[in-house]
């Protein structure tokens, strides 16, 4: 790729060629940060820097692959392949395998995914007699362990940490220190690490082995970190240690897009970069190439309300574009119909594809309404972030066989397949094996292959079954060194009985499972071929590591089919769509009720709203509902404060929704007063919320609709305009039946034609 530097604007060019010393690149949404990071690495290589002395850390394997490919187009694929480039977890897993002996782990250690970790925790809770206590949910326990690891808190320190132990006591999790200790002990016994261990153990490796730290400090002359605002304390400390010798560290990110504090990300890492690295250079990428001017300006007006930020002036030289549309629906059902009808109309009017549309929401639970509306319109859609290919049962079953072949100490994998396909090793037998393992500090594999096993109380039939399973796995282990990953997987799928099991029942479900396994074989073949071509390791251990470290964006491809995309805003980060619908923009939902209690929480929610807006290239629509069901009760919904913080100059508000729209004059005071009717008549008015000319007290019933009394039913005639609490406004087409069982056929603008029994329908007569 010739003259690649000429493709850069002035700010990008400076960020690429100034490679010495610490650098902070603040990259606004759509400003070409990936291009800058890619070209900066290519520029280093063209200057003669050895590729193996460059460490580039990303947050997805997809980003690393794309960057490495683009670098290869400039400097050659062979040179690019020698870069140390990948996600934090994949790069440091590589280092941990090299240095595993220093930590007492096998080089073929397993990497537990979330399901494995929860399964192990569930076993521990059961052993401790805590599995029936509601406070001790595996997901809750794992979340606390993960948070501790990200803060580099090991079990011994956890037990002495007053802040953590008091928080555990408040949540009635009094035995968390013991659970954490047992969890770590069981992982080590199984020769396994979870995701967080890959970072925790890298820190421990560098702390306890100065010679190892010095080796990698010397090797990595240049360190580059993508999405630095998303780093946690553990990641921050590793990169800081590695950069101490050469101090050539370049971090790229956007503090305005720091939205992962719930995963341990610390915005302070990017805000305090100037304090950590004296004499740093600051580069600001402020031109947005993705979105129209209106979208960029609206996003700027919203993020300006945050105090904790590195100031920048993002701008766009694209066309001015449409103003942002705002709609207030009667209910969440009405909201669903409004959004889907608008997608259909826009698609037909502008000759768009379904894949040009994305519906973004704050919580996964909101997807149901939009799924139902899409199905009723027979429109194709995909929920992004659904079940990953590698989380499907048949895939996890075969992967478990592969895992114990390379690491027989992997107890979670062994438990998964010791009786699949069924070989008569039941629950009681497994409980005995687990008890023996715990009593003797052994792995499950060490128990079932122990010469003393016949003396432990198992009957001859059970011993025969356990011996048969052990021989099966031992056979796979002996074949592994002499077979390719693909051939070995094929052998395991056949000899284990998995394929026979699936072929026995000719159901569509089993056929799909067989096809999925065939796709796994394809994945292994592609992996082996690609690694072989690039001269990289292509063993079964390497394949299992790559699968274990896939991120959400690596697993899901929102643009692989022509479908409307539904996804949370968190999942949308890094993606872009021509048309974006941000739905449920209401207090308690967005911002979420949990975040609203603190100023840092509100600021992160505002950054999340900024991220949502800047996913759009051409068109944004914001929607909220007047009423929304919560826990089965119809509640009054208040428009989000964020709607009042957007400069009205960039908004298009239909007349029927103007009751919640801000004015330019009031925008500044809106956030401070946290008021939603945007009027300042009196102190009493601050306790009211205004919708369509109707003012409700906070404690009023949320619904303005009632079932019609017999006398009122006579007012319903063909041609009358009514309003329904869920479907919005509609026109009565005709009536049938006699009182009190009169049924009305009504055409609703958003919901289409419905039949309503008047004595039960909650309606309001408009005209």
Q: What are phi and psi of 109, to 5 degrees?
A: -55, 145
Say yes or no: 510 and 583 in one domain: no
Rounded to an integer, the average pLDDT of 701-727 is 72
Instruction: Confirm or deny that 30 is annotated as ligand binding.
Output: yes
Say yes or no: 441 and 511 in one domain: yes
Say yes or no: 163 and 63 in one domain: no
CATH number of 488's domain: 1.10.486.10
Say yes or no: 342 and 488 in one domain: no
294 found inside a domain: no
164 found inside a domain: yes
651 pLDDT above the threshold of 80: yes
Tokens encoding 334: 């009405």
- Cα dihedral 190, 196, 199, 200 sign: negative
Task: State the average pLDDT for the chain.
Answer: 86
Instruction: Confirm or deny that 60 is annotated as ligand binding.
Output: no
Domains: count for the chain: 5
Instruction: Confirm or deny that 72 is annotated as ligand binding.
Output: no
Q: Domain residues for 177? A: 110-190
Tokens encoding 94: 């590589």
Residues 370-384: b if buried by 16+ CB within 10 A, e if exposed? bbebbeeeebebbbb
Instruction: Confirm or deny that 693 is annotated as ligand binding.
Output: no
684 pLDDT above the threshold of 70: no
pLDDT of residue 387: 60
d(Cα 331, Cα 333) in Å, to the nearest integer? 5
d(Cα 658, Cα 65) in Å, to the nearest integer? 47
Give tens-digit pLDDT for 469-488: 999 999 999 998 888 888 89
738 found inside a domain: yes
d(Cα 336, Cα 750) in Å, to the nearest integer? 9
Q: Which of 340, 363, 437 is nearest to 127 (CA)?
A: 437
The residue among 657, 673, 699 that closes a domain is: 657
The residue among 657, 687, 712 that closes a domain is: 657
Say yes or no: 223 and 157 in one domain: no
Say yes or no: 343 and 374 in one domain: yes
pLDDT of residue 18: 94
684 found inside a domain: no
CATH number of 142's domain: 1.10.10
pLDDT of residue 682: 28
598 pLDDT above the threshold of 70: yes
Q: Provide the annotated active-site residues.
A: 33-34, 226-227, 257, 615
Burial of 105 (C-beta count, 10 Å sphere; 0-12/13-18/19+): buried
pLDDT of residue 187: 96
Rounded to an integer, the average pLDDT of 527-553 is 76
SS3 83: coil
668 pLDDT above the threshold of 80: no
555 pLDDT above the threshold of 70: no
pLDDT of residue 631: 60
- State pTM to two decimals: 0.80
Q: For residue 586, name the pLDDT band (cuts at 50, 70, 90).
A: very high
| Percent above pLDDT 90 for the chain | 63
d(Cα 722, Cα 728) in Å, to the nearest integer? 8
- Strands 287-288 and 315-316, by their bridges, are parallel
pLDDT of residue 714: 77
Higher pLDDT, 743 or 186: 186
The residue among 489, 515, 549 that closes a domain is: 549
393 pLDDT above the threshold of 70: yes
698 pLDDT above the threshold of 60: no
pLDDT of residue 623: 96
Give tens-digit pLDDT for 438-465: 999 999 999 999 988 888 889 999 999 9
- C-beta of residue 354 within 8 angstroms of C-beta of residue 379: yes
Tokens encoding 140: 């809750």
pLDDT of residue 702: 41
d(Cα 524, Cα 137) in Å, to the nearest integer? 35
Residues with Cβ within 8 Å of residue 394, at least 6 apart in sequence = 498, 502, 513, 516, 517
33 found inside a domain: yes
d(Cα 733, Cα 718) in Å, to the nearest integer? 5
364 pLDDT above the threshold of 90: no
Higher pLDDT, 137 or 688: 137
Say yes or no: 417 and 521 in one domain: yes
Say yes or no: 430 and 570 in one domain: no
Rounded to an integer, the average pLDDT of 151-170 is 93
Say yes or no: 342 and 452 in one domain: no
Instruction: Confirm or deny that 588 is annotated as ligand binding.
Output: no
590 found inside a domain: yes
Say yes or no: 220 and 91 in one domain: yes
pLDDT of residue 581: 98
Residues 626-664: b if buried by 16+ CB within 10 A, e if exposed? bbbeeeeebebbbbbbbbbbbebebbebeeebebbbbee
Cα 688 to chain centroid distance, Å, stands at 37
Number of H helices, E strands in the chain: 33, 26
Say yes or no: 404 and 477 in one domain: yes
Q: Which of 52, 55, 62, 61 is nearest to 85 (CA)?
A: 55
Instruction: Confirm or deny that 27 is annotated as ligand binding.
Output: yes
pLDDT of residue 454: 84
pLDDT of residue 689: 27
pLDDT of residue 678: 30
Burial of 761 (C-beta count, 10 Å sphere; 0-12/13-18/19+): buried
415 found inside a domain: yes
- C-beta of residue 404 within 8 angstroms of C-beta of residue 417: yes
530 pLDDT above the threshold of 80: no
Rounded to an integer, the average pLDDT of 573-579 is 94
Burial of 91 (C-beta count, 10 Å sphere; 0-12/13-18/19+): buried
CATH number of 652's domain: 3.40.50.300
Give tens-digit pLDDT for 19-49: 999 999 999 999 999 999 999 999 999 999 9
Say yes or no: 145 and 81 in one domain: no
497 pLDDT above the threshold of 60: yes
pLDDT of residue 560: 56
Give tens-digit pLDDT for 400-445: 999 999 999 999 999 999 999 999 999 999 999 999 999 999 999 9
pLDDT of residue 653: 81
d(Cα 616, Cα 565) in Å, to the nearest integer? 13
484 found inside a domain: yes
Q: Which alpha helices (DSSP H) does 272-330 contain, by range?
A: 273-276, 293-303
pLDDT of residue 662: 38
């Amino acid at each position: 790729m010739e003259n690649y530097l000429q493709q850069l604007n002035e700010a990008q060019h400076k960020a690429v060629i100034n490679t010495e010393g610490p650098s902070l690149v603040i990259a606004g949404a759509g400003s070409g940060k990936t291009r800058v990071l890619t070209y900066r690495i290519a520029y280093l290589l063209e200057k003669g820097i050895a590729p193996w002395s460059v460490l580039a850390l990303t947050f997805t394997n997809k980003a690393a692959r794309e960057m490495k490919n683009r670098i290869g187009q400039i400097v050659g694929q062979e040179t690019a392949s020698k870069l140390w480039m990948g996600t934090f977890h994949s790069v440091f897993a590589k280092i941990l395998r090299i240095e595993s002996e220093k930590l007492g782990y096998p080089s073929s250690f397993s990497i537990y995914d979330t399901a494995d970790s929860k399964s192990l925790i569930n076993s521990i809770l059961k052993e401790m007699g805590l599995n029936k206590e509601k406070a001790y949910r595996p997901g809750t326990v794992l979340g606390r362990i993960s948070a501790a690891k990200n803060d580099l808190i090991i079990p011994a320190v956890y037990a002495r940490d007053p802040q953590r132990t008091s928080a555990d006591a408040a949540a009635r999790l009094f035995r968390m220190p013991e659970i954490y200790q047992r969890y770590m002990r069981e992982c080590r016994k199984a020769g396994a690490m979870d995701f967080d261990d890959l970072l925790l153990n890298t820190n421990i490796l560098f702390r306890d082995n100065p010679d190892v730290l010095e080796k990698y400090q010397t090797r990595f002359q240049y360190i580059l970190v993508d999405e630095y605002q998303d780093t946690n304390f553990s990641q921050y400390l590793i990169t800081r240690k590695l950069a101490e010798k050469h101090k050539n560290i370049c971090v790229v990110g956007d503090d305005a897009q720091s939205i992962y504090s719930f995963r341990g990300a610390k915005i302070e890492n990017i805000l305090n970069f100037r304090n950590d690295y004296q004499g740093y250079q600051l580069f600001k990428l402020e031109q947005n190439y993705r979105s129209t001017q209106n979208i960029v300006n609206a996003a700027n007006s919203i993020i300006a309300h945050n105090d904790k930020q590195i100031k920048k002036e993002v701008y766009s030289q694209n066309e001015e574009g449409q103003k942002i549309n705002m709609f207030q629906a009667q209910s969440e059902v009405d909201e669903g119909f409004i959004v889907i009808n608008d997608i259909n109309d826009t698609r037909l009017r502008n000759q768009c594809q379904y894949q040009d549309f994305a519906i973004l929401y704050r919580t996964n639970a909101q997807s149901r309404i939009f799924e139902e509306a899409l199905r009723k319109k027979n429109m194709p859609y995909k929920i992004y972030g659904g079940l990953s290919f590698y989380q499907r049962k048949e895939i996890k079953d075969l992967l478990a066989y592969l895992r114990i072949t390379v690491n027989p100490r992997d107890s979670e994998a062994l438990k998964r397949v010791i009786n699949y396909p069924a070989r008569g090793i039941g629950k009681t037998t497994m409980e005995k094996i687990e008890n023996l393992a715990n009593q003797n500090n052994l792995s499950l594999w060490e128990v079932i292959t122990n010469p003393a096993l016949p003396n432990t109380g198992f009957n001859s039939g059970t011993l025969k079954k356990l011996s048969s399973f052990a021989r099966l796995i031992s056979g796979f282990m002996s074949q592994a060194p002499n077979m390719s990953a693909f051939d070995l997987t094929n052998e395991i799928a056949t000899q284990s009985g998995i394929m026979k099991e699936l072929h026995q029942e000719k159901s569509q479900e089993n056929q799909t499972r067989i096809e999925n396994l065939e796709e796994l074989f394809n994945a292994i073949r592609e992996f082996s071929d690609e690694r072989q071509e690039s001269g990289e390791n292509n063993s079964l251990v390497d394949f299992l590591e790559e699968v274990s470290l896939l991120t959400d964006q690596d697993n899901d491809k929102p643009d692989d089919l022509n479908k409307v995309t539904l996804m949370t805003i968190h999942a949308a980060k890094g993606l872009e769509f021509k048309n974006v619908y941000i739905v449920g923009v209401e207090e308690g939902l967005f911002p979420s009720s949990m975040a609203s209690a603190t100023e840092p929480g509100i600021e992160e929610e505002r950054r999340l709203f900024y991220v949502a807006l800047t996913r759009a290239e051409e068109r944004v629509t914001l929607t909220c509902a007047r009423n929304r069901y919560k826990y089965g009760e119809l509640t009054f919904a208040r428009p989000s404060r964020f709607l009042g913080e957007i400069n009205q100059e960039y908004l298009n508000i239909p007349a029927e929704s103007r009751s919640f729209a801000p004015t330019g004059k009031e925008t500044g005071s809106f956030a401070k007063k946290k008021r939603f009717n945007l009027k300042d008549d009196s102190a009493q008015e601050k306790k009211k919320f205004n919708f369509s000319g109707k003012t409700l007290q906070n404690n009023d019933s949320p619904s303005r609709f009632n079932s019609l009394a017999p006398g009122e039913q006579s007012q319903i005639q063909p041609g009358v305009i009514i309003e329904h609490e869920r479907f919005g406004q509609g026109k009565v087409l005709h009536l049938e039946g006699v009182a009190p069982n009169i049924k009305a056929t009504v055409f609703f603008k958003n919901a289409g034609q419905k039949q309503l029994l008047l004595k039960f329908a909650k309606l309001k007569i408009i005209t």
